[in-house]
Structure 1
Amino acid sequence: MLTITAVIRARKGHEGALQEALLDVARHVRANEPDTVGFFISRDAADPTVFTTYERFTDRAAMDRHNGSDVVAKFFAIAQPILDGNVTLVTCEEIFTKA
């Protein structure tokens, strides 16, 4: 299992737009990506401009399909002008999970 953790910061005043763009990706994942076995979105309780995603994929091909999808490209087109800094991405091999 491969995972991606992303930390994404919106510019103040653009939190709602970033959240909606992330939820659009989540809806697409739910309907169209059976090999994306987990897609979680969180918002920092202390700083509402900070979002985190945690994504779980069955294999590299599933991760590549997701990352290369039109919905992810659309997300970054929407997000790019409203980001506050770079997106931090960490890709890992999962070694344990509690389901």
Structure 2
Amino acid sequence: MILVIATVRVVPRLHVEYEAALADIMPKVRAANPGILFYHAGRCREEENIYRIIEAYADRAAMDRHISSASLQTSLATLKPIIADIEIKLHDVVA
């Protein structure tokens, strides 16, 4: 299993738009990619405009399918104007 943790900094004052976009996009992405085991977003309580997207994939092939999927490309086009910065880290499951 592969875990992905994306830290997203949203453009100030666009958090409402970001959350609305995620509420629309994330269920569609999950449905289109059966190899995704977990795919959810959370807003940081301590840092304004910071969100984390937590993803778990069955294997590398599932993650690669998601990365190249039309659903992700459409999502990114919608979210790009709202995101100020993003950092993505891959993790191997150890327990």
Q: Does 1:94 align with 2:82?
A: no
Number of corresponding residues: 95
SS at 2:80 equivalent: helix
Deviations 1:22-58 (CA, angstroms, capped at 9, x unpaired): 2333201332322101112110113341110110000
TM-score (norm 2): 0.86
Identity of aligned residues (%): 25
Counterpart residue number, 1:50: 50
Root mean square deviation, CA, Å: 1.6
TM-score (norm 1): 0.83
Structure 1, gaps ≥5 residues long: none
Structure 2, gaps ≥5 residues long: none
Q: Normalized per residue, which structure has more strand?
A: 2
Shift of 1:71: 2.0
